[in-house]
Structure 1
Amino acid sequence: MVAATPATAVTGQLVSATALRTYPTRSDVDAALTADKFDPGTNHFGVRTWRLVYRTTDASGAPTTASGLVALPINDRRKLSTVSFGHGTEIFKGDAPSTSEDVFLIGPALTFASAGFAAVAPDYLGLGVGPGVHPWMDVPSETTASLDLLRAARDFARTEGKVLTRDVYASGFSQGASAALGLAQALQSGADPWFRAAAVAPISGAYDFRRAEIPALFTPEVHPVLASAYTTYLLVAFDRLHDIYPAPGDVFRKPYVGLPALFDGTHTGQEVIGALPATIDELLTPRGKAMLLHPTGRFARALAEVDSVCTDWTPRMPVRLYYSPGDEEAVNANTDHCRSTLPAPKVDLGVNRDYNGFVHEGSEVLGVPAITRWFLQLSV
Structure 2
Amino acid sequence: MADTNTCPPLTRASVLAAHALIKSYIHETPVLTNTTLDTLASTPRTAAELKGTEWDLEVTGKQPARPKIRFWFKCENYQRIGAFKARGLFMLLNGLKRRWKWRSNHAQALALAARENGIPAHIVMPTISAPPKIAATKGYGANVIFSGSTSTEREAVTKEVIEKTGARFVPPYDHPDIILGQATAALELQSQISSALSSSKSSPKRRLNAVITPCGGGGLLSGTALACSDPAAQGGPILVFGAEPSFSGADDGRRGYYSGQRVETVKSLTIADGLRTPVGKYPWSIIYEKKLVAGMYSVGEEEIKKALKLVYERMKVVVEPSAVVGLAVALFNEEFRSMVERDAGEEGWDLGVVFSGGNVELAALGRLFAEE
Give the TM-score category using the shorter length. 0.3 to 0.5
Q: With structure 2 as the length reference, what TM-score do the two structures score?
A: 0.38
More strand by share: 1
Q: With structure 1 as the length reference, what TM-score do the two structures score?
A: 0.38
More helix by share: 2
